[in-house]
């Protein structure tokens, strides 16, 4: 007999055999599985995040995290995406990612959204901007915010068009922008080879974007529109896209919520040499001279501050 030993399960003294587990001592019949409530008699136990013990089989059934896509218990290694969803490793090779947020999309989810051109997850579909009536007031809000940042358009009326993928591709023409979700359509007028004026015809955005991304794409395109209105046409691609990405980045940074945070991170870490690298280079300049001065220098010299 071991004098003074108390079972952690029932709080009574232990007179006979006992088990030690989880830094405590128990009557063998009181060291029980949190799942099936039966004693755990072997060494194969699993402990959940709250320190509760389970038979190995019960852990899979009652306590293991479940795959967000197929519902199977996740044992051993599994994946966690940027949204905190957990899923089986193999799905990463099986399923495509949502074009807008990176979540994996199952064939069933895809089938429910077959009319949309890009792979889109149910979360993005829920907030999708599908009609110009929905889009218009949001466009005006973003334009007002952009104006508060110092990007004014004078008397130029900038219109919005929601378009399908074919029309977007048509607008993009020869520009190779495989991930473009919007485009600023402008006309140039030149005389004797000299550019005399440029006007913005429309900002076209792919229909069906989730709300937050739609706003960021509009902010980005309003950057292009501003450059066009002021005749700033000779920036390198990295400088122009970097400037427009900086605008979208600042807009997302002002919004609250997980989605905005996701896009802030996506822009900041974008490996693309034009969009990602361009953003980082323009951001360094903006931090050095201030955003207002960056605009002023662009307006007066048609170039980025040196
Ligand atoms: Zn006991
Ligand atoms: Zn059990
Ligand atoms: Zn799974
Ligand atoms: Zn999505
Ligand atoms: Zn752009």
Give me ligand 5 centre to Cα 230, in Å: 16
Ligand that lies nearest to the alpha carbon of residue 104, given by its number in the listed order: 4
The answer to whether residues 223 and 280 belong to one domain is yes
pLDDT tens figures, 41-71:
877 788 888 889 999 889 988 988 899 999 9
Domain limit, last residue, from 103, 126, 149? 126
Residues 133 and 232 in one domain: yes
Both 169 and 278 in one domain: the answer is: yes
Check whether residue 297 and residue 156 sit in a common domain. yes
The alpha carbon of 2 and the centre of ligand 4 are apart by a number of angstroms equal to: 61
Mark whether 122 and 157 lie in a shared domain.
Answer: no
Query: Which ligand is closest in space to the CA of residue 40?
Result: 2
Q: Residue 8 Cα, ligand 1 centroid: separation in angstroms?
A: 6
42 belongs to a structural domain:
no
Q: Are residue 277 and residue 174 in the same domain, yes or no?
A: yes
C-alpha of residue 59 to centroid of ligand 3, in Å: 17
99, 222: one domain: no
CA–centroid distance, 70 to ligand 3, in Å, is 4
> Are residues 174 and 101 part of one domain?
no
Spacing, Cα 4 to ligand 2 middle (Å): 29
Domain with 108 in it = 79-126
What are the per-10-residue average pLDDT scores of the chain (306 residues)?
79 91 92 94 84 90 91 90 93 95 94 92 96 97 97 91 92 72 85 76 94 97 94 93 97 95 96 96 98 97 93
Number of domains in the chain: 2
Residues 147 and 97 reside in one and the same domain: no
115/226 same-domain check:
no
Among 126, 155, 187, which residue terminates a domain? 126
User: How far apart are the CA of 15 and the centre of ligand 2, in A?
Assistant: 25
Residue 289 domain flag: yes
Neighbours of ion ligand 3 (CB under 5 A): 67, 69-70, 72, 88
Find the ligand nearest to 208 CA. 4
Domain contains 187: yes
Q: What is the pTM assigned to this prediction? A: 0.84
Check if the beta carbon of residue 218 is closer than 8 Å to that of residue 142: yes
Interval 87-142: pLDDT, tens: 999 999 999 999 999 999 999 999 999 989 899 999 999 999 999 999 999 999 99
In a domain, 91, yes or no: yes
Question: In terms of domains, do 218 and 120 share one?
Answer: no
- Starting from the CA of residue 172, give the closest ligand: 5
Q: Is residue 259 included in any domain, yes or no?
A: yes
Residue 74 lies in a domain: no
Distance from residue 85's CA to the centre of ligand 5 (Å): 31
Q: Are 118 and 145 part of one and the same domain?
A: no
Ligand nearest to the CA of 247: 5
Chosen domain end from 91, 126, 161: 126
């Amino acid at each position: 007999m071991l004098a003074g030993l108390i079972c952690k399960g029932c709080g009574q003294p232990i007179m006979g055999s006992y088990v030690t587990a989880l830094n405590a001592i128990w009557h063998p019949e009181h060291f029980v599985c949190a799942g099936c409530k039966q004693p755990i008699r072997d060494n194969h136990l699993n402990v959940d995040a709250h320190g509760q013990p389970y038979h190995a089989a019960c852990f899979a059934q009652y306590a293991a995290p479940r795959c967000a896509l197929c519902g199977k218990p996740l044992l051993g290694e599994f994946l966690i995406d940027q949204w905190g969803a957990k899923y089986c490793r193999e799905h990463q090779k099986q399923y495509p990612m949502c074009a807008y947020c990176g979540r994996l999309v199952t064939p069933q989810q895809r089938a429910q959204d077959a009319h949309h051109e890009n792979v889109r997850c149910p979360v993005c579909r829920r907030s999708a901007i599908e009609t110009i009536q929905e889009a218009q007031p949001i466009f005006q809000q973003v334009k007002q915010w952009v104006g508060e940042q110092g990007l004014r358009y004078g008397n130029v009326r900038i219109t919005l068009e929601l378009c399908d993928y074919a029309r977007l591709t048509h607008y993009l023409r020869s520009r190779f922008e495989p991930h473009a979700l919007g485009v600023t359509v402008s006309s140039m007028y030149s005389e004797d080879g000299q550019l005399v004026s440029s006007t913005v015809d429309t900002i076209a955005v792919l229909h069906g974007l989730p709300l937050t991304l739609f706003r960021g794409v509009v902010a980005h395109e309003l950057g292009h529109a501003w450059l066009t209105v002021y005749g700033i046409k000779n920036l390198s691609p990295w400088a122009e896209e970097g400037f427009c990405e900086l605008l979208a980045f600042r807009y997302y940074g002002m919004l609250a919520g997980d989605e905005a945070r996701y896009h802030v991170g996506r822009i900041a870490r974008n490996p693309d040499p034009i969009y990602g690298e361009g953003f980082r280079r323009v951001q360094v300049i903006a931090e050095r001279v201030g955003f207002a001065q960056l605009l002023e220098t662009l307006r007066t010299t048609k170039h980025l501050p040196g």
